[in-house]
Chains A and B, each alone.
Chain A
Amino acid sequence: MLVNYPEAAHWPIDPTRQDLVEEMRANPRGPHSDDLRKLLHRMRWTGVGKRYVVIVLEPNRRWMLGRLPGRRGAPVETFPNRIFTSLAAAEWAVFAMRWEALTGQRLDDGIPA
């Protein structure tokens, strides 16, 4: 079988790389530097924690944070108080949660302009 193993993404996380955090905050949708791409790949491939998604509330206008249950047939977990008006804001919010899960560092959850 051809299997994608999520644990295969093993680029080491360096909690001191605040430069990558700030690069992401400034430009959540890219293009990104080589190291930030590696960090994002680590986060996206492993789906650290559970896999965060957004749910479209208004096409191309408004999104709600959600989380996949990791099991077929189970409902998508929703976070009705986490609404985004841009995909960039959603991308940053997901990054911040994953950064905290990987490093223990809580990031200022400020939505980028």
Chain B
Amino acid sequence: MMKDTTSVLGYAWPLVVSPGETIAFHLSSATLTEAEARIVRVRCGDPDPAGPGLKTTRLQTRIDGRVALRHQSIHPGSAAIIPDAPILSGPSFSTGCFLWPTAPLAGPQTILSRWREDLGRGWRLGLDAEGHLLFEIAGAAGAASLRAARPLIEREWIFVAASYDGATGALTLVQRSLDAQAGRDTSGAYQTTGPAGLAWPTETALVFAAHAREAGPAPLTAAHFDGKIDRPRLYGAAFGEAALRLACEATRPSAADPALIGAWDFSAEISSDVVRDLSTNRLDGRLRQLPMRAMTGANWDGSAVQWTEKPEFYGAIHFHSDDMADCDWSPDVAMTVPTNWRSGFYALCLTARDGSDDPVESYVSFFVRAPLGQAKCRLALVASTATFLAYANSALRLDQVHAEAMLEGVIALSRDDVYLQEHRELGLSTYDTHSDGSGWCYSTAKRPILNMRPLGNTFNYVNDTHIIDWLEHNGFDYDVITDCDIDRHGAQLLSSYACVINGSHPEYFSRNMLEAFDTYQRGGGRHIYLGGNGFYWRIGFHPTKPHQMEIRRGMNGLRTWEGEAGENGLSFTGEPSGLWRSNGRPPQRLVGVGFDAQVFTRSYPYQWLADAHDPRVAWLIKEIDLAKPLGDFGLRGDGAAGLEVDRVETTLGSPPYLLRLATADQLDYGGVPTVEELRTLHRGAMGDQNAMVRADLVFFPTAAGGAVFATGSIAWACALSCKAYENSVSRVTGNVLRRFLDPAPFSGFDN
């Protein structure tokens, strides 16, 4: 029976922990008051009865036993919060910014505010439910509002401004379209007279892209805005449109202007969550829930496409009403990881309602690393935490119309999927779009991640546990190391190991990670890549905040959303993003093969090629019948070559020493090439007619006795256990691993 995997959820912090360090579990349940807790080491997370089945090992810890549960809320929606200051309570003010709304009809939204929802007092500039600009003031002396005549147009830049004169009670509101032709002009200016001398509520934060629900410097917020805000300004006098427009157009308005209260420069400190005020008042604020930074402003003219080149064009932040980066839950249980624990995939297992017809079994994942600088084994398996984060809580199959066509069959939802459909507050993956249609570019681990745990959907994490299961079955000793540690410690971490294995889908790679593997290979490291679609996207980890990653999908590659022009540089690091192939480092150069196609109809066997008979790789084909197909079985589509596959391409860097040992190049009509493989469009590009749609199995030696083995297929890992582990895929993998752990160099390649 499918267990209830969602009645209690949680996250571990830190996600990756060293022996001797403390780990805390932040839990929440809307329905349970308690659960049984225990810690397990994960060997196989896949409940598929056709495979090894769920395999975990229980470990005795002080957590064992009953844990009390409570409901902890999640508050999605990003905003900038500026704590109250005396200067914000002056009698008159004017405010303005450039605006690029992305969901003006999604419901009432607040753009710039010093408003208290609990009191219904203050001022706010926002949108009403019909997408009309609305300026409201309210206080003890009364209230007034102005509404623009024409609604805003989605994804069109507009200048918006409002003012209140406390002496006369005069209110003004203006919207001015920046491209005022061909039906795009919604401009208008409005005025009315309201109560004079309004007093503003105290202890009220200034908020951008939402308003405060309550008092205090860090209030909960409501009415979150979807879209970009560029160069917000606030003055302590009731200025007209022309003066405010000039103030907003200036990237650095005069800080000496006595009327200036605040001028926020979102192009400053882009990698942080700080918003800087350029005025002498220093009304700096904090961003909440990680809105998208390094976004083009209304002044962007295409003369630079990276924010680092001309930051003054990147004064906008794109806020989303569903941004979610940090649940901010209180911890419920904590423990110190014993120093004698092996590194590996671990989880807190929570069970409840045992014996009922709907038992709860929910896992909270974490990873234990080998102590840094102290490799315990000669072999390391990489936990692809960058990829796990990129896919964290993917709702692709729920939201994207192409999913059923792409996956070539009716979509099968797990209980996790059914939960996620209803509970978008968990925050989605970098495959998904926000509710306004723009892409999710950040992912974090301070939230429950449903598909990075045992019993989760079968991709990435769960598939990689098949490699763990196979290593355990065959008695190989191994450490587990993680992407985030490779990013931070580089080749130094890898160089402790004779051999390093990347799993089924190491798709997301930072520059540090790529450099680490390149250096590792050049230094004699033995590198095994048991997957497909690896080393594909260029990502960045946040330089100071652990387990936060970023991707900008750009204009190329197999992408579920496209970055906007000029917005494809990483805000965390200032680096370009997109495909590694488009960044001068195609995967073929590192591992001999690179992504070429998807095939979801079924998976296929490889056929051995002439290179497999090369005596220099006799060790690789020991006890293998080269006349027979390789991997005509598997848990994912009944073959070892499938899902996402990679091929050799010398023009992209597959090296001269490479031996192409086997190929699966008859992928039929289900083999669909990736977009960057197509020069011009023509019929005949699918796998039934195109031999470039294929998976290649390769070996090549590198410098100083190093070597690379790659399978070029995600489905490979899920074929290892077939026929009780006695199969050709398992045998080849074992032959390679044993040889790679043998320090003897690979001879006969230098001539």
Contact = CB atoms under 8 A, between A and B. Distances in A.
B399 interface: yes
13 contacts: A1-B155, A31-B669, A37-B669, A51-B404, A53-B397, A53-B412, A54-B412, A55-B412, A55-B413, A68-B421, A76-B421, A90-B410, A94-B410
Interface string B408-422: 111111110010011
Nearest to B408: A30
A1 B408 contact: no
B561 A87 contact: no
Contacts, number: 95
A72 B425 CA distance: 11
B402 A4 contact: yes
Nearest to A75: B422
B405 interface: yes
B335 to A, nearest CB: 30
Contacts of A3: 437
Given A31-B601, A73-B422, A75-B422, A53 B50 contact: no
Given A47-B401, A61-B49, A87 B412 contact: yes
Given A60-B49, A72-B399, A73-B422, A52 B410 contact: yes
A2 interface: yes
B669 A72 contact: no
A61 to B, nearest CB: 7
A74 B422 CA distance: 5
Interface string A28-62: 01110000010001001101000111111111110
A6 interface: yes
B328 interface: no
Given A54-B411, A60-B49, A72-B399, A2 B562 contact: yes
A4 B412 contact: no
A99 interface: no
A23 B411 CA distance: 21
Contacts of B705: none
B401 A6 contact: yes
A60 B343 CA distance: 31
B48 interface: yes
B595 to A, nearest CB: 19
B435 interface: yes
Nearest to A46: B401
Q: Which residue of B2, B155, B401, B402 has the most chain A CB atoms within 10 A of its CB atom?
A: B401
Interface string A1-12: 111111000000
Interface in B542-578: 559, 561-562
Interface in B383-419: 397-402, 404-405, 408-415, 418
A105 to B, nearest CB: 20
A58 B401 contact: no
Contact of B424 (A45, A52, A55, A72): A72
B523 interface: no
A87 B410 contact: yes
Given A2-B561, A30-B601, A87-B412, A45 B418 contact: no
Nearest to A57: B2
Interface string B424-464: 10000000000101100000000000000000000000000
Contacts of B50: 60
B413 A53 contact: yes
Contact of B2 (A4, A31, A58, A69): A58
Nearest to B555: A2
Contacts of B415: 55-56
A1 B601 contact: no
Contacts of A53: 397, 410-413
Nearest to A52: B410
Interface string B12-53: 000000000000000000000000000000000001111000
B284 interface: no
Interface of A: 1-6, 29-31, 37, 41, 44-45, 47, 51-61, 63, 66, 68-69, 72-76, 87, 90-91, 94
Contacts of B1: 57-58
A30 B397 CA distance: 21
Given A59-B47, A72-B435, A74-B421, A45 B410 contact: no
Contacts of B47: 59
Contact of B404 (A30, A44, A66, A73): A44
Contacts of B401: 4-6, 45, 47
B273 interface: no
B405 A60 contact: no
Contacts of A90: 410
B422 A66 contact: no
B422 A56 contact: no
A56 B418 CA distance: 10
Interface string B346-367: 0000000000000000000000
Nearest to B437: A1
Contacts of B400: 4
Given A1-B562, A59-B2, A31 B668 contact: yes
A74 B409 CA distance: 23
Nearest to A3: B437
Contacts of B413: 53-56, 66, 76
A53 B252 CA distance: 54
Nearest to A94: B410
Contacts of A55: 412-415, 418
Nearest to A92: B410
Contacts of A66: 413, 418
A91 B410 CA distance: 6
A4 B415 CA distance: 27
B103 to A, nearest CB: 12
Contacts of A75: 418, 421-422
A89 B344 CA distance: 39
Contacts of A37: 669
| 4 interchain residue pairs of minimum CB distance | A2-B562, A44-B404, A6-B401, A44-B405
A87 B602 CA distance: 14
Contact of B48 (A47, A59, A74, A94): A59
Interface in B155-178: 155
A91 B404 CA distance: 11
A1 B439 CA distance: 10
A98 B397 CA distance: 19
A56 B435 contact: no
A66 B422 CA distance: 14
Contact of B409 (A2, A6, A60, A91): A91
B668 to A, nearest CB: 6
Contacts of A47: 401, 404
Contacts of B561: 1-2
Contacts of A57: 1-2
B200 to A, nearest CB: 35
